Structure 1
């Protein structure tokens, strides 16, 4: 059973090791692909003892999931001041994040059934993705614009993006992402 991957101390050696291992993991995933990343290779790249990596994460899947969960701290896309533009920007940002080298692997690891708490991984992933769109919806509502529900955005924009990228469907690009947003926004009642 893998050890818990959460730091109990906010700084110090433990935090430095975790940061080095995360950096090494991301670099290796980009260089060789997630399926070829091993804990010994990560330990070598990070300059730490392999036993530390095994003790803390136990499996490559658990390590990938921990890296994915840490990405929740990334900043949300910049708001542009218009619902369609803001949602389009968030959709493209989501597509870019998921399509980057290792993006699908990190997503799969975060929601994999062999990770200690799969439900927590699913919740964190959904929360991270939702935050990108929620800010745009809240800003538009403050401006008095008609907005769809977050669930509708997840169903009509986010789910198709994830589906198409995970299954490597062609023509999943910025134009496709913005088209999903346009279809969603075109279905909204006109503001009066």
Structure 2
């Protein structure tokens, strides 16, 4: 079942959703994710399992929804005064957050169940803010696709499929390549 994106429930529905999300976050801090069950979440949230199944369909969709909520940025990317500096600051923070165990788990949850393209839209939005910030001060800006392909894609690939994530120096080199015209 797809995550019902765009639904922004209010009132009781919002409180139920937040209670379930909180239960998931708490339980993931207390136990291994492989042992997590819908009935456990329901008990912790004070709802019936059918409430969870009705809204999310299955555990993986619920985990993806919780992960997507955590992936949404809290604010705009840092401003350093230069395009290269802004991209480096953003990419370093992304690498640091996503290469942690909670970050890797979040990426796996989203990868398995999320609406296609949703993560790209989140990341694109952050990168577009940086590009817009420097639109008038730079002779040539890389395209959004170039930044995604040259910096984000290798970062995600290494986090999910390699023994070690990119190191910061490699990340900086990828950003420098992406900035070349």
* TM-score using structure 2 length: 0.82
Structure 1 residues 71-90: aligned runs within 5 Å:
71-72=71-72, 74-90=74-90
Shift of 1:7: 8.0
Q: Are 1:7 and 1:15, in contact at CA under 8 Å, matched by a contact in 2?
A: no
Q: Are 2:38 and 2:49, in contact at CA under 8 Å, matched by a contact in 1?
A: yes
Q: 1:133 to 1:7 in 2, by over 3 A?
A: closer
What is the CA deviation profile of residues 65-105 of structure 1, one whole-angstrom value per residue up to 9, with x for unaligned ones?
21233333632322222111111111112213322333233
What is the CA deviation profile of residues 22-63 of structure 1, one whole-angstrom value per residue up to 9, with x for unaligned ones?
122233334434333221222233333333222222211110
CA RMSD, 1 decimal: 2.6
Shift of 1:151: 0.8
Cα distance in 2 for residues equivalent to 1:89 and 1:41: 39
Q: How many residues align?
A: 180
Cα distance in 2 for residues equivalent to 1:24 and 1:157: 34
Cα distance in 2 for residues equivalent to 1:4 and 1:126: 16
Cα distance in 2 for residues equivalent to 1:8 and 1:91: 30
Residue 101 of structure 2 aligns with which residue?
Answer: 101
1:28 paired with 2:20, answer no
Cα distance in 2 for residues equivalent to 1:7 and 1:91: 27
Structure 1 residues 1-192: aligned runs within 5 Å:
5=4, 10-70=9-69, 71-72=71-72, 74-112=74-112, 115=113, 121-185=115-179, 187-188=180-181
Shift of 1:20: 1.9
Cα distance in 1 for residues equivalent to 2:105 and 2:27: 12
Q: 1:35 to 1:99 in 2, by over 3 A?
A: farther
Moved more, 93-102 or 157-166: 93-102
Cα distance in 2 for residues equivalent to 1:182 and 1:6: 35
Unaligned runs of 5+ in 2: none
Unaligned runs of 5+ in 1: none
Shift of 1:175: 3.6
Shift of 1:145: 4.3
Cα distance in 1 for residues equivalent to 2:91 and 2:52: 35
The ranges of structure 1 where at least 4 consecutive aligned residues each deviate by more than 6 angstroms after the TM superposition are: none
* TM-score using structure 1 length: 0.78
